[in-house]
């Protein structure tokens, strides 16, 4: 049992009809540590016990046993404050980190539950842009967070690999395409001819008619149409995989929209049988006016399926295949309505799991110069962005540490780490400002700052020789404020992972790692680690080791590499 569990146990024995889990989760860590290391507020109990909260606090504190490791219990107004014996506190937390190493923080909180995460999901033959970066990075972090706390995450890349754009692309390719150019420039060339199609179609609407014809051929299984389509998908996947490789991201499934082609007829029948399908201007829809939403489009006038039809079919398929506890969709918030609509259709179909579908929206990316990257607007290519971040990282490394080995690899880790960290730094709904200078500032709350702190800890350990880290440590030597602060941050790490999962918010982990780095850097500046005498040196090295381990684990959960030298 850790401190909080022991406090919860002692409290629940002193409170009639207590719910120990609820007590556990109400225990707080005061922001002003002169008020104790843990605090239990009694406001909630007032309703049940029908007494004033301060009186309840007083009565419980008199009745309860002192938990192990607690030095002093004090009542201040409605709070019961607990003061830990610092040596016990430090020892417990450090021993736990040593025992579990990179596994520290991981738990079986979600054991036995599957969570499907639908993220990245770019559109074939269209560029992978900065908006897809957010989905990719947030989704990957959530994937790792859920896995770390015992869920089984299933990562799905719901590729946009079917739909009207392919009819247009086939026409464009047949008219203006060149095989070699496509093979050389992949998506850039495809999107060039795609844009050209739109320009030409404005003058010449017959092109649209032709494109529809090709789409129908695709739907009917025409070989020429499908061969071209498959080729476009392969070309696009090559680029996507290059980016995923650099971001170190893999998916468990790449079943995109086209996978549902032969599964939609049954779903449309089901919608019809359950009396939900109505006609509107020749199209088939589910009327949602009762729920204050525009209709959900199921079939186009020509019988073609649509984005919502594919999502509904995919959800039913995923429930059957993965029996998910939650199925989570990570997209920009401009898709809020789309998800609200088809989630409603699932509910109206009578699926009791409709409440387990979760849309996790995120804000836009602003490019610092005021331009926004939206679906229609100005598109910024992902690879250009990664390249410029890596180049800038390389320049900084060249200035700071020109003799570093392996500079190229480290610049890649730092540049990409900076992009990811910046994306995960705030609550996801906030817009992200894409400012290379800021996100690569080694002194800011940035990826490079965290990586640098990690490298600093590694360097201390290298100089000390790893053999210095052992369990035979006098923990009472670490009772100074800076050391205790480090341990406090370490101790909260497991809960932060759980909190991040409950809110679908990776920034909770990001900020926690920042807090750990700040606490460690204060400790590092206040104390001499290697220069202190033997026992103290041993204790401080142990603390450094624990910090290094947790930074490493936190960064890897966020999808960021942690070089040992920078």
Q: Which is nearer to ligand ARG, 140 or 331 (CB)?
A: 331
Spatial neighbors of 66 by CB under 8 A, at least 6 apart, are 10, 73
Query: Is 121 among the residues that bind ligand ARG (CB under 6 A)?
Result: yes
Verify whether residue 158 is a known catalytic residue. Answer: no
Closest by CA to 448, choosing from 415, 399, 425, 423, is 415
Verify whether residue 338 is a known catalytic residue. Answer: no
Between CA 230 and CA 205 the distance in angstroms is: 26
Q: Which is nearer to ligand ARG, 158 or 511 (CB)?
A: 158
Between CA 392 and CA 447 the distance in angstroms is: 14
Between CA 316 and CA 351 the distance in angstroms is: 9
Q: Give min distance, CB of 118 to ligand ARG, in A.
A: 5
Q: Which is nearer to ligand ARG, 191 or 446 (CB)?
A: 191
Distance of alpha carbon 205 from its chain centroid, rounded? 43
Verify whether residue 454 is a known catalytic residue. Answer: no
What string marks each residue from 236 to 275 as x (binds ligand ARG by CB under 6 A) or -?
----------------------------------------
- Cβ atoms of residues 134 and 423 within 8 Å: yes
Between CA 415 and CA 164 the distance in angstroms is: 37
User: One of 4, 86, 91, 129 is an active-site residue; which one?
Assistant: 129
End-to-end Cα separation, the chain, in angstroms: 38
Q: Give min distance, CB of 542 to ligand ARG, in A.
A: 46
Query: Is 210 among the residues that bind ligand ARG (CB under 6 A)?
Result: no
Q: Which is nearer to ligand ARG, 52 or 429 (CB)?
A: 429
Q: Give min distance, CB of 141 to ligand ARG, in A.
A: 17
Q: Give min distance, CB of 295 to ligand ARG, in A.
A: 18
- Give the pairing type, strands 432-433 and 365-366: parallel
Q: Which of residues 159-188 bind ligand ARG (CB under 6 A)?
A: 160
Query: Is 506 among the residues that bind ligand ARG (CB under 6 A)?
Result: no
Helical ranges in 124-222 per DSSP H? 130-148, 164-176, 179-203, 206-220
Instruction: Give the residue, chosen from 311, 356, 412, 445, that forms a contact with ligand ARG under the rule CB under 6 A.
Output: 311
Q: Give min distance, CB of 158 to ligand ARG, in A.
A: 4
Q: Which of residues 81-120 bind ligand ARG (CB under 6 A)?
A: 118
Q: Which is nearer to ligand ARG, 122 or 447 (CB)?
A: 122
Q: How many residues bind ligand ARG (CB under 6 A)?
A: 9
User: One of 86, 126, 158, 538 is an active-site residue; which one?
Assistant: 126
Task: Give per-residue burial for 330-363: e unless 16+ CB within 10 Å, then b.
Answer: bbbbeeeebbebbbbbbebbebebbebbbbbbbe
Q: Which of residues 317-356 bind ligand ARG (CB under 6 A)?
A: 329, 331
Q: Which is nearer to ligand ARG, 122 or 417 (CB)?
A: 122
Instruction: Give the residue, chosen from 12, 61, 114, 123, that forms a contact with ligand ARG under the rule CB under 6 A.
Output: 123
Closest by CA to 145, choosing from 557, 469, 534, is 557
Closest by CA to 236, choosing from 159, 324, 163, is 159
Between CA 337 and CA 351 the distance in angstroms is: 20
User: One of 91, 132, 158, 255 is an active-site residue; which one?
Assistant: 132
Query: Is 157 among the residues that bind ligand ARG (CB under 6 A)?
Result: no
Spatial neighbors of 47 by CB under 8 A, at least 6 apart, are none
Q: Give min distance, CB of 410 to ligand ARG, in A.
A: 32
Q: Which is nearer to ligand ARG, 118 or 356 (CB)?
A: 118
Q: Give min distance, CB of 157 to ligand ARG, in A.
A: 9
Q: Give min distance, CB of 364 to ligand ARG, in A.
A: 13
Q: Is 18 helix (H, G, I), strand (E, B) or coil?
A: coil
Residue 305: exposed, middle, or buried by beta-carbon count in 10 A (0-12, 13-18, 19+)? buried
Tell me the CA distances in angstroms from 192 to 3, 445, 509, one per residue in order: 61, 39, 40
Q: Which is nearer to ligand ARG, 331 or 491 (CB)?
A: 331
Query: Is 158 among the residues that bind ligand ARG (CB under 6 A)?
Result: yes
Number of helical H runs and strand E runs in the chain: 20, 12
Q: Which residues bind ligand ARG (CB under 6 A)?
A: 118, 121-123, 158, 160, 311, 329, 331
**So which residues are the catalytic ones?**
126, 129, 132
């Amino acid at each position: 049992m850790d401190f909080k569990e022991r406090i919860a146990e002692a409290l629940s024995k002193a409170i009639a009809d207590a719910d120990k889990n609820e007590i556990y989760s109400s225990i707080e860590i005061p922001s002003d540590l002169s008020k104790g290391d843990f605090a239990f507020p009694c406001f909630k109990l007032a309703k049940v016990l029908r007494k004033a909260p301060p009186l309840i606090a007083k009565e419980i504190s008199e009745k309860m046993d002192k938990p192990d490791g607690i030095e002093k219990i004090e009542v201040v107004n409605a709070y019961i404050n607990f003061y830990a014996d610092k040596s016990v506190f430090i020892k417990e937390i450090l021993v736990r980190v040593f025992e579990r190493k990179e596994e520290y923080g991981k738990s079986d909180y979600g054991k036995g539950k599957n969570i499907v995460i639908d993220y990245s999901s770019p559109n074939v033959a269209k560029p992978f842009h900065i908006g897809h970066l957010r989905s990719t990075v947030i989704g990957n972090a959530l994937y790792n967070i859920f896995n770390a706390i015992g869920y089984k995450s299933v990562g799905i890349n719901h590729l946009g690999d079917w739909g009207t754009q392919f009819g247009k692309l086939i026409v464009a390719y047949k008219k203006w395409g060149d095989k070699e150019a496509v093979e050389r420039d992949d998506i850039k060339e495809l999107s060039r001819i795609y844009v050209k199609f739109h320009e030409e179609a404005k003058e010449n609407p017959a092109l649209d008619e032709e494109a529809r014809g090709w789409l129908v051929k695709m739907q009917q299984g025409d070989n020429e149409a499908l061969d071209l389509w498959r080729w476009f998908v392969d070309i696009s996947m090559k680029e996507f995989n290059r980016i995923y490789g650099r971001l170190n991201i893999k998916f468990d499934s790449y079943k995109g929209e086209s996978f549902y082609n032969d599964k939609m007829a049954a779903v449309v029948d089901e919608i019809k049988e359950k009396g939900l399908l109505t006609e509107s201007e020749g199209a088939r829809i589910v009327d949602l006016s009762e729920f204050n939403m525009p209709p959900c489009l199921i079939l186009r006038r020509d019988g073609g399926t649509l984005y919502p039809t594919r999502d509904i079919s995919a959800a039913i398929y995923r429930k059957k295949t993965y029996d998910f506890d939650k199925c989570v969709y990570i997209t920009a918030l401009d898709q809020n309505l789309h998800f609200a609509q088809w989630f409603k259709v699932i509910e109206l179909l009578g699926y009791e799991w409709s409440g387990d579908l979760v849309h996790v929206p995120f804000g836009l990316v602003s490019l610092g110069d005021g331009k926004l990257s939206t679906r229609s607007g100005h598109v910024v290519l992902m690879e250009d962005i990664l390249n410029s971040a890596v180049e800038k990282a390389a320049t900084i490394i060249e200035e700071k540490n020109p003799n570093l080995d392996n500079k190229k690899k480290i610049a890649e880790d730092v540049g990409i780490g900076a992009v990811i960290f910046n994306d995960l730094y705030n609550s996801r709904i906030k817009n992200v400002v894409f400012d290379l200078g800021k996100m690569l500032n080694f002194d800011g709350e940035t990826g490079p700052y965290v990586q640098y702190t990690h490298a600093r800890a590694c360097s201390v350990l290298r100089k000390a020789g790893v053999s210095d880290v052992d369990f035979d440590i006098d923990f009472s030597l670490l009772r100074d404020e800076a050391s205790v602060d480090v341990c406090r941050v370490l101790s909260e790490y497991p809960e932060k992972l759980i909190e991040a999962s409950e809110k679908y918010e990776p920034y909770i982990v990001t900020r926690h790692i920042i807090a750990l780095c700040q606490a460690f850097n204060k400790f590092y500046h206040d104390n001499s680690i290697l220069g202190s005498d033997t026992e103290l040196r041993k204790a401080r090295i142990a603390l450094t080791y624990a910090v290094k381990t947790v930074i490493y684990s936190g960064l890897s959960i966020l999808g960021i590499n942690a070089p040992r030298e920078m």
